[in-house]
A and B are shown apart, each in its own frame.
Chain A
Amino acid sequence: MAQIDIQNVQKFFGHLQVLKNLNLTIADGEFVVMLGQSGGGKTTALRAIAGLESVTSGKILINGTEVQDRKASDRDIAFVFQSFSLYPHMTVRENIAFPLRAVRMNATERDKAVNEVAEILQIAEHLNRKPSALSGGDMQRVAIARALVRRPQALLMDEPLGVLDAKLREQMRAEIKRLHIARGSTSVYVTHDQIEAMSLADRIVILHDGVLQQVGAPDEVYLHPTNLFVARFVGSPVMNVNGVRIEGNTVRLAGADASFSFPDDVLASVRGTPADLALGARPEAVLLEHQPTEGYLDVETTNIEPLGSHDIVDVRLGDTVLRARTASGFVSGEGQRVWARLDPAQTHFFDTATGLNLRGAN
C-alpha cells in the first residue's frame, strides 16, 4: 500500500484546462473520495493517477517515486470502471486472473489468489460463468475482485456504483467500506453522489471547474464548508442561501419583512465587511415553533415533504422561502402559521463576490 502525492498538476485538453494546479496528498491506507459535478475534473484527476491520462505539468508520486511519465502498466495500481469493463469473452475466473497473467504468476498460485479474493467478495459460485450471466451487483464484485487480486499499491474507483439501482448501491457501498477496513488499501473513489462520499470517505476532496475547493473529513466539509460551492453541493436538501443585511445585532434576509437577532460574537467576524454577504443555513439550522416565542419570526408553511424519519418544511418569510427540517408530522399542512428562528451557531456568512466563507460555524 502506498501514499499518493499530487503536486501542482495541470491538465489541458486543447485549450480547455480541466485541472488547475492540483495539490493533494493521500495517506497510506486512506479512503479519499473525490466529489464534484460532472466536468469538474475529478475523473480526469483519477485517470491521471492511474496513468490513463497524461498530465500537462506537475508531478504525481506513488510512495515517493515520480510516476507521471510512467505507463499505466508500470504504476501498480488498480482501477474499477463505472462500466465494470469485464471482458465478455472470458469467464469470471479468467477475468479475475487476467492481471495475474500479466505478471506471469504460476497457475497454482494464481488459482489460490483468485479463489481467495472470490471468497472475500462472495462470488465463488460464479467463477465459471460468463460476466453477461451475472447481476449488476455481482458484475461489480467481479470488477473489484479483479482490481484487488494482485494487491495493488492503490485502488482507484470511478463511480463504481453509478449504474446500480438505489438499493444495490447502498448494499455495495457498505461492502466497499467493509472491504476497505479489512484490506486497508489506499483508495481513491470518484463520485458525484454526496451521500456516497459522506458514508465512505476518510476525507472528501471537492473539485469544481478543475479547482480543488476543499479537503476534509465528511463532518468537516459538511459543518465548515469553505465556500458557497461546497456549502451548496454537500448536504441534502441544499443549504438555504440568502442575501443578507446586517444592522446592529439584527440580520435581515433579502426579501424578508423582519429581522433575526444574532449574538454579537457571531457577527463580530463579518461586521464592517464591505462585501455583499450571503447567509447560509442548513435546514436543520432553521428552527420552528408552534407558539410565538422570543426571537422567533412569524412565518407561513408553503410546502411539506414528509420523508418518514423527518419532514422538510418550506416556510415563507416575506418574499423569501426557507427550508426547515422538523420532526415528522411537526406541521400538519400547508398555509399554517408557525414561528421560525435561525440557529446562529449553525449559520455561515459568505462573501457573495468570492464565495468564501467568512465565518465557519462552530
Chain B
Amino acid sequence: MAAVRTNGERTVNRLAIVSVLIITMIFLAPIYWIASTAFKPRNLATTIPPTIVFTPEISPFVKLFTKRSQLRAPPSQEEYEAAPWWERLVFDGGEKVVRSGRGEVQLSGYPSRFMNSLIVAITSTVLAVGMGTFTAYGFSRFKVKGEDDLLFFILSTRMLPPVVVAIPMFLMYRAVGLNDTHLGLIILYTAFNLSFAVWLMKGFIDEIPKEYEEAALVDGYTRMQAFFKIVLPEAATGIAATAVFCFITAWNEYAFALIMTNRRAQTAPPFIPSQVGSGLPDWTVIASGTLLFLLPVAIFTFLLRNHLLRGMSFGAIRK
C-alpha cells in the first residue's frame, strides 16, 4: 500500500517525526515535572538545578491525605515503632499525624475537596449532556419557530465572560442560600455547559439520517421509543465527545468555585493552590494533589476513547 517515496521525501518525513517528538516533549515536560515532584523527598523538590535521579517516595501522598502538625521534639522510640509504616514517613519529615481524642487519624482537606469535584463535575456533565441531547433532538427534528435565533441565543450565553456575572451571581446565590453548596455549583456548571452541549449534539444528531427513525415509526415504535432505541445508540459517539468536553470544563473550573465555595462544597481547583499560601509550602504535597487531580479526566477520556475515535461513517445508509 505504501506509496513510492523519494530519498528527499524520506528525509522530510524523518525531520517531521523528530520535530513532532520535540514538540511532544515540550508539552509533556510540565506533566513530568509534576509527576516527578509528587514522588520526591521534600528536600529535593526545590533544588537548583532540578534533581532528575532520585529514589521515589510515597510520603507526599501520605501527607496529602492526612492532617499533620509540626513535631516539637522527635518521637520516642516506642512511639516510632508503634506507628504504622505510613505514619513513620510523616515522622521522618519532622511532622506527626493529628489524631482525634479516640485515636482516629484526621484527614486533610484534600479527600473531601476531591469528592466534591467528582460530585459536581459528574452531576453537571450528566445534566448538561442529557438536557442538551433532548434539546438538540428537538431542534434537529422538528420545525421550531425562530430556530436560528433561538440557537444563536443559546450560544450567546457563552459569549459573556463568566467573570462579568461572578459578583451578581455571588449575591444572588447568597440571597437564596446556594453559595458553598454542591447544588449551587452543579446548577452553575450545567448552565454553563448546556449551550455548548446543545450545539455539539445538534451537529451529531443532524448527521443521523431521519429515515432511521421513520423506519422505526412505521415498524410500530413511538417517537420516544425510536429516540431511545435508534437515535441514542447512533449518537453515542457525539454523546461521548460532548460528555468529555463538559466534564473537562466542569472539572477544571476555578474562578466560580473560588468565589462561590469555601469549605463544604469547595472543589479541588481552588483548594490546591490555597495550600501554597500557608507557611513554607511543601511542593511535593501540592504536586501529588495536582497529579491525582489530573487522573479522572485522563481515565474518563481513556474509557470513552473507542467512541471518540469511532467515526460517524459507520452507518449502512447509501446516499
Given the complex of chains A and B, what is the CA–CA distance between A87 and B221 in angstroms? 14
Q: B220 near A81 (CB under 8 angstroms)?
A: no
Q: Mask for B254-282, Cβ within 8 A of A = 1, else 0? A: 00000000000000000000000000000
**Taking the complex as formed, is B149 at the interface, i.e. its CB lies under 8 A from any CB of chain A?**
no
> Beta-carbon contacts of A62-87 to B below 8 Å, as 1s and 0s?
00000000011101111101111111
Once the chains are docked, how many angstroms separate the CA of A89 from the CA of B229? 10
- A 185-213 to B, binary, CB cutoff 8 A, 1 in contact else 0: 00000000000000000000000000000
- Interface-side segment among A25-33, A129-137, A303-311: A129-137
In whole Å, how far is B57's beta carbon from the nearest beta carbon of chain A? 49
* A353 on interface, CB distance cutoff 8 Å: no
Q: Is the Cβ of A99 less than 8 Å from the Cβ of B230?
A: no
B215: Cβ under 8 A from any A Cβ: yes
Q: Does A103 contact B (CB under 8 A)?
A: yes
Say how far B225's CB is from chain A's closest CB, in angstroms. 8
- Complex interface residues of chain B between 145 and 170 (CB less than 8 A to chain A): none
Measured in the bound complex, the distance between the Cα atoms of B220 and A73 in whole Å is 4
**Which A-chain residue is minimally distant from B216 (CB atoms)?**
A98
The answer to whether A79 and B318 touch across the interface, beta carbons within 8 angstroms, is: no
Q: Which residues of A contact B230 (CB under 8 A)?
A: 87
Instruction: Name the prevailing secondary structure of the A interface residues.
Output: loop
Is there contact, CB below 8 Å, between A85 and B219?
no
Q: When chains A and B are docked, how far (Å) is the Cα of A355 from the Cα of B233?
A: 52
B317 contacts A by Cβ under 8 Å: yes
CB distance from A179 to the nearest CB of B (A): 19
CB distance from A163 to the nearest CB of B (A): 4
B234 with A89: CB separation less than 8 A: yes
Enumerate A263-306 residues with CB–CB distance to B below 8 Å: none
* Complexed CA–CA distance, A21 and B315 (Å): 38
Residues of A close to B215: CB separation below 8 A? 79, 81, 85, 87, 146
Q: Which residues of A contact B315 (CB under 8 A)?
A: 88, 132
Query: Given A88-B234, A131-B316, are A79 and B218 neighbors across the interface (CB < 8 Å)?
Result: yes
Whether A88 touches B218, Cβ cut-off 8 Å, given contacts A81-B211, A83-B209, is: no
Q: List A residues at the B interface (Cβ < 8 Å).
A: 50-52, 71-73, 75-79, 81-89, 98-99, 102-103, 130-132, 134, 136, 139, 146, 150, 163
